[in-house]
């Protein structure tokens, strides 16, 4: 299997279960609280490693207890942490996650994630091979994200961008992206096409392909996902499960796609497995602690096959 280089964030998630999102000036009593290792980059790296991939994580943490815990979690999951950097005097990234019913609201404080540098990427890619996979998101500085995609393409790597949190992407970014994986809200923000448009997914895919991306997946929550390239668009339904917590579902989906590509599979062939991995994640509470491994995903797909017969 080709290796996967993940460049992104590491956050300590602080998760509150609440009956309703508080209004201005209102205090709401929570139903529960816990902390869990997270961050979009780290979540995706863990998702890749739990499916047997060779994973190298590039990012930054503070010299604090949260940083220690996040690095330990990555090591335990089998992710290489040789290219993680400690930033003295800067706190590790944190995320406040409010869960109400089947919905979550997330606020991120970047902390040390904002110090991840182009130099770290150069070191991590020094021995990269053509066709290795490069995966990144947008909880690190924009210029670092942009530089990394260009550097990976110069090495001949397959590049994946999960554009979260969403912001405007210039052509120099999209021209270096083989596969972009936004959710509906992110796709709307990037393209300007409103979610209410009956042809929303198809029009977003067409626009992104026209701007230089080779392949597009738009995740559609309970409706599954839409995939498109220059010749076709297809929809793949989600698996029905009881929703406990949607945190890290998108990251698990993205990681699953990266593993399939590193294994030599096509993006289209990987969609049902990625949907299954995401379904398992949302049936559990938490971020990295909810991400399944290969035996769990295979068992889930077997159960779904039996139910469908």
Residues serving a catalytic function are 251
Nearest Cα residue to 118 out of 58, 162, 71: 58
The whole-angstrom separation of Cα 160 and Cα 257 is 9
Looking from the CA of 61 toward its CB, the CA atoms found within 13 Å total: 27
Look up residue 113 and give its DSSP letter: G
Q: Is the peptide bond before 165 cis (omega within 30 degrees of 0)?
A: yes
Q: What are phi and psi of 23, to 5 degrees?
A: -80, 175
The answer to whether 35 and 14 have CB atoms below 8 angstroms apart is yes
The whole-angstrom separation of Cα 97 and Cα 106 is 5
β-strand partners of 7? 58, 136
Nearest Cα residue to 259 out of 18, 53, 25: 53
């Amino acid at each position: 299997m080709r290796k996967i280089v993940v460049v992104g964030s590491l956050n300590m998630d602080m998760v509150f279960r609440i009956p309703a999102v508080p209004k201005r000036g209102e205090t709401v009593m929570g139903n529960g609280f816990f902390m869990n290792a997270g961050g979009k980059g780290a979540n995706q790296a863990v998702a890749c490693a739990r499916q047997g991939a060779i994973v190298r994580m590039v990012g930054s943490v503070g010299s604090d207890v949260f940083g220690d815990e996040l690095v330990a979690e990555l090591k335990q999951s089998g992710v290489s942490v040789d290219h993680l950097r400690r930033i003295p005097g800067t706190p590790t990234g944190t995320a406040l996650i409010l869960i109400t019913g089947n919905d979550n609201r997330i606020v991120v404080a970047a902390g040390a994630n904002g110090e991840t540098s182009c130099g770290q990427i150069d070191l991590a890619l020094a021995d990269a091979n053509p066709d290795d996979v490069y995966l990144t998101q947008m909880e690190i500085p924009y210029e670092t994200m942009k530089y990394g995609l260009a550097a990976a393409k110069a090495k001949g790597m397959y590049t994946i961008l999960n554009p979260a949190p969403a912001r405007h992407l210039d052509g120099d970014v999209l021209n270096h992206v083989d596969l972009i994986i936004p959710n509906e809200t992110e796709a709307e923000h990037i393209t300007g096409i409103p979610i209410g448009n009956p042809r929303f997914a198809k029009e977003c895919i067409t626009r992104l392909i026209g701007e230089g991306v080779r392949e597009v997946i738009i995740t559609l929550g309970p409706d599954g996902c839409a995939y498109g390239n220059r010749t076709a668009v297809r929809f793949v339904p989600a698996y029905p499960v009881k929703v406990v917590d949607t945190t890290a579902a998108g990251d698990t989906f993205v990681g699953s796609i990266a593993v399939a590509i590193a294994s030599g599979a096509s993006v289209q062939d990987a969609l049902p497995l990625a949907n299954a991995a995401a379904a398992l994640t949302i049936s559990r509470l938490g971020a990295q602690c909810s991400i399944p491994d290969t035996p769990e995903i295979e068992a889930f797909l077997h159960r779904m096959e039996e139910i469908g017969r």
